[in-house]
Amino acid sequence: MAIYLDCAATTPLDPRVREEVLRYLDEDFGNAGSRTHEYGRRARAAVERARDQVVAVVGASRGDVVFTSGATESNNLAILGLARHGEATGRKHIVSTAIEHHAVLEPIAELERRGFDVERLTPDAGGAIDSAAVQGAVRADTLLVSVMHVNNETGVVQPIEAIASLLPRDTILHVDAAQGFGKEIAALRNPRIDLISVSGHKIHAPKGVGALVVRRRDAARPPLEPLMHGGGQERGWRPGTLPVHLIAGLGKAAQLALDEHDVRGRRCLEFRERLLAGLAPLRPVINGDPKRSVAHIVNLSIPGVDADTAIEAWQDLVAISHGAACTTQTYTCSHVLSAMGLADWREEGALRLSWSHLTPMPDLSAMVEAIEQVCRASGSVTR
C-alpha cells in the first residue's frame, strides 16, 4: 500500500478520537437538547466540554464556539452572515486575497454579485500576502478582511498577527484556519481576530464537523445573521440537532493537538528534512517560501517532469495531490500558483506532499528511481 502523503486534504482518524466518537454513538447517544433525562444531560456535557477544548487552542471563551459541518460552512457563515449588516450600514467593501480556498473565494464572489466591492490582493513570489498591502486596501467602508492562516496548497503561513495589528477597530477580521488550527498556535490567539474557521478532519477528527469561533470584542460579537433557520441551536446561528459524536471527536482532537503540539511539530519537521534530503537527487524546486511554511506541507516541482507523470510514477509508493483535492473533480491550473506568478513548468509540475506526526517515511530511494526511470524512457532530464 502506498504511503499516504495527502494530509492537507484529510488526515487519518486518531484512535483516541475514534474511541470518543464511538462512545457517543453507542453509549451516550442522547440528544444534547433533551434536558429531562441523563442521556440528554451527558450529551450536553460532551458538547460543552468540546467547546472548552476547541477554544483552549485559540484562547477564546466557551460561548464563542459555533459548531458546524466543517470549515466550508464556517467560512460561508462568517462571510455571507455579514451581508445584511453590510447592506444596512453601507459598509460593502471587502478585502481578501487571490490565494484563498474556494470555500472563501466563492462566498465572497456571491457578495460581489449582490453589489459588494471586493479587492483581492496577490501574494509575493514566495506565496505570502503583504500585511501593509492589506492595511492599504482598507477603506472607511470596509466591512470585512478575510485572510487565510496557512495556504492549503503551498503551506505558507500568512502574516495574520501583523494584519490584525494594522486594522481599524471597526473592521471585522476573518481567518480561515482549516490548515493551521492546532498546528500553528500563537497567531490564532490574537484577540483582534473576530472570526476563525475550523475543520475537524484536518486534525485527525472525523469528516463532517468543524467550528466557527465568533470572538467577543469590546463586549460585542460580529453581527452575523444565520444562513439557516429552525430550532435555535448554537445561539440561532446554526440550527439543527447537534451531532454529539462528531462534536466530541472534534473536541478530543483539539485537546490532543494542543497537548501534543511540540512533539507533533518536531516530528513533522524531521519528516520534512528527511523527505527533501531524500528527493534532492531530483533537484526539486519548492513552490512557496520555505522559511514561512508549516512543517507538514511542501509544494514542489521536479524539472522536466509534469505532475501527472510524477503521480503515476509514484502511485505504488505514495499517495499525493497536485492541487487542492477538495475543490473540484476537474484538474485545473492552481489559482494559488498562478497568483504567485510562477513559471509555467513549475505550475504544470507542482506536487503537494503533506503528512502528519503519524506518517511513516516512504521509500525515498524508490521514489527517486521511479522518476529517473521515467525520464530515461522519455529521453528527458530532471535537472
Number of structural domains found in the chain: 2
Ordered mean pLDDT values, 10 residues apiece, the chain (383 residues) = 96 98 94 85 93 97 95 98 97 98 97 98 97 98 98 97 96 98 97 98 98 93 90 79 96 98 98 98 97 97 94 96 55 84 94 97 97 84 51
Q: Is 326 a catalytic residue?
A: yes
pLDDT for the residue 332: 59
- Please say which residue of 227, 259, 291 terminates a domain: 259
Q: In what order do the strands lie in the sheet with 117-121?
A: 65-68, 210-214, 195-199, 172-176, 142-146, 93-97, 117-121
Query: How far apart are the C-alpha atoms of 243 and 233, rounded to whole Å?
Result: 12
Read off the amino acid at residue 13.
L
- Please say which residue of 241, 259, 277 terminates a domain: 259
Kindly report the pTM of this predicted structure: 0.94
**Bridge-partner residues for 146, per DSSP?**
174
Same domain for 242 and 268, yes or no, is: no
- What residues contact residue 182 under an 8 Å CB cut-off, 6+ apart? 57, 203, 253, 254, 257, 258, 261
**CATH number assigned to the domain comprising residue 175:** 3.40.640.10
Confirm whether 101 is domain-assigned. Answer: yes
Provide the residue range defining the domain that includes 361.
3-11+261-378
Could you tell me if 68 and 74 are in contact, meaning their C-beta atoms sit under 8 angstroms apart? Answer: yes
Same domain for 277 and 223, yes or no, is: no
- Please say which residue of 202, 230, 259 terminates a domain: 259
Query: How far apart are the C-alpha atoms of 380 and 383, rounded to whole Å?
Result: 9
| Residue from 7, 268, 326, 375 carrying the catalytic annotation | 326
Same domain for 175 and 103, yes or no, is: yes
pLDDT for the residue 376: 86
Same domain for 271 and 349, yes or no, is: yes
Same domain for 172 and 194, yes or no, is: yes
Same domain for 249 and 273, yes or no, is: no
Same domain for 43 and 180, yes or no, is: yes
Same domain for 132 and 160, yes or no, is: yes
Query: How far apart are the C-alpha atoms of 212 and 234, rounded to whole Å?
Result: 11
Same domain for 122 and 158, yes or no, is: yes
Task: Tell me the DSSP string of 186-234.
Answer: HHHT-TT--EEEEESTTTTSPTT-EEEEE--BTTB------SS-SS-TG
Task: Tell me the DSSP string of 156-187.
Answer: BBP-HHHHHHHS-TTSEEEEE-TTTTTTSHHH
Query: What are the percentages of helix, strand and coil residues in the chain, rounded to 5?
Result: 40, 15, 45
pLDDT for the residue 326: 47
Same domain for 150 and 273, yes or no, is: no
Confirm whether 383 is domain-assigned. Answer: no
Same domain for 163 and 19, yes or no, is: yes
